[in-house]
């Protein structure tokens, strides 16, 4: 563990709060210290209010902010005087505490203060840092964890037995720290939870955190407790069908579509293949904070129904009438073939689960080598999972985007209508896989809910491999948008060569047949039913001279869509076509081409672009919006439909 403090960088931060931001980001940059919103930092400052009074304020990390990216607005200013009075109360429910914290903020637009705000206020230091350092958590999650912590730190830290986060923890810490702290105290360890450091300056507090965690790491190294995982190679056998089935089972248990990510690295496979997996993995997570994301235990194997039954019994045995059961679906599945499957309501949530459990593997295996892994009792884990503050969040809820938890695949996704479809589906909450022959598809977006795969759609094997990647990345397939196609230069039938004809058919028709065939088993397992949208053309109902290959390929694709509707309805898969025309905001229509075609018809460019009955310009975005709606509830009772989006074409009407 090395300090990242840089005097030159630190010199750019002039205020106490700015320095708090700087060192918070240093902590947040190391996932072995802070992971996905975990940890808390604070600073105490004096400020003059609007009426000229000097107030002591605690700036503490606000809810929803991550230390890795936090900025000054991410800290909530709370009046210290009231916090210290609250700390002296005998009782205070956590909902009451949250209300009190909000009423004592000096900035209404600031985020809600951390539930550990009172704890930070009671520690008599200007800067306070709190992390869930893997090394410290590892040591505390052993049967003799307290003795080991004493061996590592001596009397330099105050050791607090596990207490659930919130007011009770703040009260215990305040009393015990006041009784045990001395001039040489530099930190505080919360058993099964994490570690605190503090100081008069941001640098002092930060570097003490690095030193204290470094001592725990050195202790682990001294006892040679780190696990090196064997170089296990995953099987090359396809897992997409089994993974899609698991996702279907999990989604049924959760009552909504879920994203499932598969990780089959040597580390995860080595962990899953341990003979003692059941004993070490089903005790509980490394820290209570993680139970909210990952649930108390993972599912080993694929029997989701058995897991949900056990979860329901677990809830019934512990819950009060006031508590509402969370969905009983697992968030982590450990399977020797499917690997570590991380589950979430969207791609970000699934990735957070994956990251947390990756660190959990390190903690569990290292603690096992050090002595044995010992998580908190199940009753403590239940209290965190069904914390009244978490229950309040559930009740508050909020409307999710239309395709939350669902997965769409779009062909020809790097530009034009395909890219617009990607944008719209992402906007509506879907995780999207984009295929395109253009390698730029891999960098189209850098976000967790998008996967770009370079793919020649005329290569059957490449399509199959793309589906395999898509399912391993997100868990299944709900929506398929068949957009990839080519429009060759105008050519009369008398001059149309066979190679051109076959190329157009291969891309516009044959590739779609292969993709539909291979995607069908996956679409059958879509939790809300599979949906396919074909991007057709005005040339289907109204072909034009010189476009024989294109018109025939699109007409044949449209007929394929109709047959699929007849065959797939029993599988709860609906398939429809949209027929755009005059979509000029694509790469094909350069300014020069537009000017040339407009001149050919004796029109201005604008009149040419709106040369339809409604005199409107048809855009890629408009086509994409219709495509998304055809996958949504508005078209839930519709299949085999052909919907024009052309502003009204006199040859079609």
**Which of residues 471 and 488 earns the better pLDDT score?**
471
Same domain, 440 and 321: no
Same domain, 37 and 64: yes
Same domain, 260 and 198: no
Same domain, 319 and 455: no
Domain boundary among 222, 251, 282: 222
Task: Report how many domains make up the chain.
Answer: 4
Residue 463 maps to a domain = yes
DSSP labels, 5-47: --HHHHTT--SHHHHHHHHHHHHHT-TTT--TT--EEEEEEEE
In 530-590, which ranges are continuous DSSP H helix?
548-568
Same domain, 606 and 628: no
CATH code where residue 53 lies: 3.40.225.10
188 in Cβ contact with 153 (< 8 Å): no
- Pick the range with the lowest mean pLDDT from 375-389, 409-423, 436-450: 375-389
Residue 230 maps to a domain = no
DSSP labels, 153-164: HTTSEEEE----
Domain boundary among 396, 418, 450: 396
Question: CA 143 to CA 413: how far, in whole Å?
Answer: 54
Residue 114 maps to a domain = yes
The pair of three-digit structure tokens given for residue 485, joined into one six-digit string: 């196609």
Residue 650 maps to a domain = no
Question: CA 260 to CA 350: how far, in whole Å?
Answer: 7
Residue 234 maps to a domain = no
- Pick the range with the lowest mean pLDDT from 147-151, 326-330, 423-427, 534-538: 326-330
With vertex at residue 641, the alpha carbon angle to CA 638 and CA 647, rounded to the nearest 5 degrees, is 120
pLDDT at 217 over 90: yes
CATH code where residue 425 lies: 3.40.50.720
From the list 579, 549, 582, the residue with the least C-alpha distance to 483 is 579
406 in Cβ contact with 424 (< 8 Å): no
Query: How many other C-beta atoms can be found within 10 angstroms of the C-beta atom of residue 262?
Result: 26
Q: Residues 495-525: pLDDT tens digits?
A: 999 999 999 999 999 999 999 999 999 999 9
Same domain, 576 and 502: yes
Taking residues 287-296, report their average pLDDT. 82
Query: How many other C-beta atoms can be found within 10 angstroms of the C-beta atom of residue 435?
Result: 29
Question: CA 152 to CA 139: how far, in whole Å?
Answer: 10
With vertex at residue 111, the alpha carbon angle to CA 118 and CA 10, rounded to the nearest 5 degrees, is 80
Q: Above pLDDT 90, what percent of the chain?
A: 84
pLDDT of residue 512: 98
Taking residues 43-58, report their average pLDDT. 95
The pair of three-digit structure tokens given for residue 651, joined into one six-digit string: 């040859």
Same domain, 623 and 590: no
pLDDT of residue 396: 67
Same domain, 392 and 427: no
pLDDT-based confidence at residue 386 (cuts at 50, 70, 90): confident
What residues are labeled active site?
550
DSSP state of 56: E
Residue 152 maps to a domain = yes
Q: Residues 427-445: pLDDT tens digits?
A: 999 999 999 999 999 999 9
Q: Residues 532-561: pLDDT tens digits?
A: 999 999 999 999 899 999 999 999 999 999
Taking residues 355-370, report their average pLDDT. 95
pLDDT at 394 over 70: no
Domain boundary among 367, 396, 425: 396
With vertex at residue 578, the alpha carbon angle to CA 575 and CA 581, rounded to the nearest 5 degrees, is 160
Same domain, 492 and 602: no
Same domain, 489 and 469: yes
Give the domain extent around 48. 7-222
Q: Residues 560-598: pLDDT tens digits?
A: 999 999 999 999 999 999 999 999 998 778 888 889 888
Same domain, 165 and 24: yes
Same domain, 249 and 212: no
Q: What is the 3-state secondary structure (H, E, C) of 327-364?
A: CCCCCEEEECCCEEEEEECCHHHHHHHHHHHHHHHHHH
Residue 231 maps to a domain = no
Residue 590 maps to a domain = yes
């Amino acid at each position: 563990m090395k300090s990242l403090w840089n005097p030159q960088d630190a010199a750019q931060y002039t205020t106490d709060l700015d320095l708090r931001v700087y060192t918070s980001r240093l902590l947040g940059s190391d996932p072995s210290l802070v992971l996905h919103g975990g940890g808390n930092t604070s600073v105490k400052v004096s400020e003059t209010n609007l009426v000229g009074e000097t107030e002591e304020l605690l700036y503490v990390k606000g809810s929803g902010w991550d230390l890795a990216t936090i900025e000054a607005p991410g800290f909530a200013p709370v009046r210290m005087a009231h916090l210290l009075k609250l700390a002296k109360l005998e009782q205070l429910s956590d909902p009451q505490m949250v209300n009190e914290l909000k009423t004592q903020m000096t900035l209404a637009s600031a985020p809600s203060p951390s539930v550990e705000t009172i704890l930070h206020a009671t520690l008599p230091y200007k800067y306070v840092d709190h992390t869930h350092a893997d090394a410290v958590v590892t040591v505390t999650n052993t049967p003799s964890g307290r003795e080991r912590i004493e061996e590592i730190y001596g009397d330099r830290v105050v050791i607090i037995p596990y207490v659930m986060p919130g007011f009770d923890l703040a009260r215990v810490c305040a009393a015990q720290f006041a009784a045990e702290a001395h001039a040489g105290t530099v930190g505080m360890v919360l058993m099964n939870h994490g570690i605190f450091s503090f100081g008069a300056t941001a640098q002092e507090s930060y570097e003490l955190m690095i030193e204290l965690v470094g001592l725990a790491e050195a202790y682990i190294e001294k006892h040679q407790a780190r696990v090196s995982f064997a170089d296990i190679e995953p099987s090359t056998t396809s897992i997409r069908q089994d993974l899609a089935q698991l996702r279907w089972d999990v989604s049924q248990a959760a009552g909504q579509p879920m994203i499932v990510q598969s990780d089959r690295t040597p580390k995860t496979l080595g962990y899953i293949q341990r003979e003692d997996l059941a004993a070490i993995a089903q005790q509980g997570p490394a820290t209570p904070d993680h139970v909210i994301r990952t649930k108390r235990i993972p599912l080993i194997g694929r029997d989701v129904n058995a897991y949900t039954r056990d979860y329901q019994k677990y809830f019934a045995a512990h819950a009060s009438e006031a508590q509402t059961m969370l969905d009983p679906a697992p968030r982590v599945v450990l399977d020797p073939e499917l690997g570590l499957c991380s589950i979430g309501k969207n791609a970000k949530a699934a990735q957070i689960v994956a990251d947390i459990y990756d660190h959990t593997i390190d903690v569990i295996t290292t603690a096992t080598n050090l002595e044995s892994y010992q998580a908190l009792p199940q009753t403590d884990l239940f209290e965190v999972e069904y914390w009244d503050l978490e229950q309040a969040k559930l009740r508050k809820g909020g409307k999710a985007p239309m395709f939350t938890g669902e997965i769409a695949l779009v062909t020809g996704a790097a530009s034009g209508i395909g890219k617009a479809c990607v944008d719209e589906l992402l906007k509506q909450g879907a995780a999207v896989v984009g295929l395109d022959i253009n390698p730029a598809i891999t960098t189209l977006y850098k976000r967790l809910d998008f996967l770009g795969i370079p793919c020649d759609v005329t290569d059957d094997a490449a399509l199959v491999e793309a589906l395999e990647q898509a399912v391993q990345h997100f868990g299944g397939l709900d929506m398929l948008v068949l957009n990839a196609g080519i429009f060759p230069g105008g050519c009369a039938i008398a001059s149309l060569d066979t190679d051109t004809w076959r190329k157009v058919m291969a891309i516009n028709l044959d590739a779609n047949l292969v993709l539909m065939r291979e995607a069908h088993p996956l679409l059958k397992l879509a939790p809300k039913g599979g949906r396919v949208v074909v991007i057709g053309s005005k040339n289907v109902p109204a072909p034009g001279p010189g476009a024989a290959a294109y018109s025939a390929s699109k007409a044949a694709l449209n007929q394929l869509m109709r047959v699929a509707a007849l065959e797939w309805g029993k599988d709860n898969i609906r398939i429809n076509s949209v027929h755009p025309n005059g979509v000029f905001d694509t790469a094909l229509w350069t300014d020069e081409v537009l000017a040339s075609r407009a001149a050919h018809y004796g029109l201005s460019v604008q009149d040419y672009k709106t040369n339809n009955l409604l005199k409107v310009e048809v855009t890629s975005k408009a086509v994409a919006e219709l495509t998304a709606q055809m996958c949504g509830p508005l078209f839930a009772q519709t299949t085999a439909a052909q919907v024009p989006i052309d502003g009204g074409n006199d040859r079609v009407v």
